[in-house]
Structure 1
Amino acid sequence: MSAPALSTWISSPVPPLGGAAVVPGDAAIAARALVLAALAVGESRVTGAPAGLETLAQALRALGAHLERMGEGAWRIHGVGVGGLRQAPGLLDVGPDGVAFALLAGLLSTQEGETFLTTSHPAAAAFLKAALPPLSRMGAAFTPAGDGLGAAHPPLLVRGTARPVPVDHRPLAPVACEVKSALLLAALNTAGRTTVVEDSPTADHTERLLRQFGAAVTARHQPDGAWAVSVDGQRELRPARVAVPGDASLVGAALVAAALRSGPGVALSHVGVNEHRIALFAVLRDMGADLTAQDQPVGEGEPVADLRLQPQARPLRGVEVAAASLSAAELALVAVAASCAGGTTVLRELTPRLARTVPPLVAALGACGVTASAATDVLTITGGGGPPRGGATVGVDADLAPAFLALGTAAAHPVAVRADLDPAAARLLNALGAAITRG
């Protein structure tokens, strides 16, 4: 597996951000929509999709589905039915698209035949460690690179089973929603009920789309408070029309950048506001940001809203945050907002997953002149009531990078970010007045 392509992005100080911008579609939702459309019987349409899906589309074509681009962000898909995929003639390489890799790995596990699948995404090994054991229990067999399942990495030979069996799976530790998605897709071609139990619910994009395509999906609380999601398999999917919402992950950096200083405010329309993706919004409101969301009717699809960040009369303020519900990207964005706030911000209850991101986050904040410190499960940032000096080059992973682009727009000196960054994050900030260039 090749290393991610690192680039340097330079974010220079500008006047306060403001204005209206179109948010690119959510790639994770769009990928799921294309995959499910490829399994439906009939013609589906997907609109609002971001760029970068052609690699997944090529993989689905190699498996027998017909996908056609109809213009910017629009796709027409003729599916082959559940269980109707053919064996791909060669290697399916989805490049850096880790979501596509996860979805296809699950889907192919219960499709008879052998397929070679690979990705360059750095989290692929962690996905395989969590997903291959339950998929193997369903009857699939795998030959990954590496030394056994504990150190498996792509490329991966998937030997799909012709007689899959349903499973009940409860991971021993919290895992990404892509593991749940892989199992739910494998369940589609499996007779009986497959159930995935999570101690804390992860994003439910797959479940929502499965319902939209007519799958038999149920979700319920367990007596012990856990969350169980089940799919009754071997039912045909119906075609659907999916309007992909704007990516909430990209929106976070834009809102924080606009909130760092008093400015004209920003307006962002048709943004996905799935409850599992917007913990940042509540924190910004607690810090004093005037952020409103006007819900839009969407039927059975993803919840969508038009967001408005109003001009602020005073700087953000320090707060105490129960951080367990934040993603790594949101943790970094809260830290950057706190660096420009008045007073101290304390983020408590850091999960082990978040705690792993804290050392590089604290180091990058310190390089930009921010006072930050960490204990076992606590991160503390002391704000100066205004932007810090910046003027540093920080090397961070893709989750943390957008936060430092936001910081660079307000800091006294430019911030250079070296990361495997989605260019859409920079384009959205630039549309609101940022000056971010690729070095």
Structure 2
Amino acid sequence: MVDVAANPSLLPTLTPEEVRRLDRRHVFHSWSAQAKIDPVPVVAAEGARITTDDGRTYVDFTSQLVNVNIGYQHPRLVAAIQEQAARMTTVSPAMANDMRSAAAAAIAELAPGDLNMVFFTNGGAEATENAVRMARLHTGRQKVLAAYRSYHGATAGAISLTGEPRRWGSEPAVPGVVHYFGPYLYRSNFHATTEQEECERALQHLRDIIAAEGPHHIAALISETVVGTNGILVPPDGYLAGVRAICDEFGIVMIADEVMAGFGRAGEWFAIDHWGVTPDLICFAKGVNSGYVPLGGVIISDRIAASFQDEPYPGGLTYSGHPLACASAVASIEIFKDEGIIERARDLGEGVIGPRLRGLMEKHPSVGEVRGLGVFWAVELVSDRATRAPLASMAEVTAACKAAGMWPFVAGNRLHIVPPLVITEEELDDGLRALDTALDVADAACVV
């Protein structure tokens, strides 16, 4: 055995200047024109705060990519990963492993209905890819319905499912994906004036799409239970139950993409639990272990799993069910239970975040709508409440948030309020005060 104590660290210690220089020279960043970005080095993070290389500390209202649900450097989760690294770092997915078995059992126990098996991936995009593959093989059909206001990942299949403009650069896409409009009352595609009208008309629109595409050709419908990056759109009551009924009527596999909304973000283990609906497949990642080690997967119903009992499933990944990742998921779920994090997220949404944001809406004419649940909220900014014209000057609002000590999540004309679920009320208050200040900047560009 190597005496670790007698050996110096193999890891370099870089100055902030070296980090920036090497980043510019060697790191190719996603979704970016490389010459037009200057990523800020984060030198420390703990709980719900991050510290950048200039020594400034911010309340993080982004949870990075809405994934650090348990907060940064949770000591129990870090210790669990260290413990597992000392036991076993890796093993083939063709073999059984204690942490893989334990993680699958723990995740299946949380899932609704008969979703009892788990296929592990490295992240959300691979989860949606494999869920669609399972649905196509199970049904023998090829078409897949996906919403326009959606993001399902950036691999070839996942970006084809994605409805928002980020898919454009990857087209022509994988064939067979048909997009539809989901409910969004504030900017209704269906000229609805109430939640009930929006629900009914969105479901009728879905039926019309299915009729036009041929229900016997449609393998699956995939949707984000609560739409994430495209607006934190909470479906009206009755919508998901209606989707479930339509899928049952036509033999379509219902896939719930819970990559962002799952594991406490919406105040339940899975957001779909709010509406008591059981899909056929659930895609997860992000909050399952807060990104401490890459992990995602598909939770599979008994009915879908039965298709692959005697016929092999034609898919796999070298790191499927990686022991370090699975150990972190097992530990994270236990921490969530021990520390009441799901209940805390629900209470923060109902008792603190929702009321505070609605108060800001009353104060600031630039706020067109506030919506969300759990620790998953959007503040939609407009330049004119009457016309609902989106606010264009988001760069100034972003800068104002940072100047006031809050790191914001900006998507289109929206500020998403998505801090770690473990954020303290004091930290939340600091971040919301910063938001209040930034909304003054938005108001200056608003028609009153």
TM-score grouping bracket, smaller chain normalisation: under 0.3
* Structure whose residues are more often strand by fraction: 1
* Structure whose residues are more often helix by fraction: 2
* TM, length-normalised to structure 2: 0.22
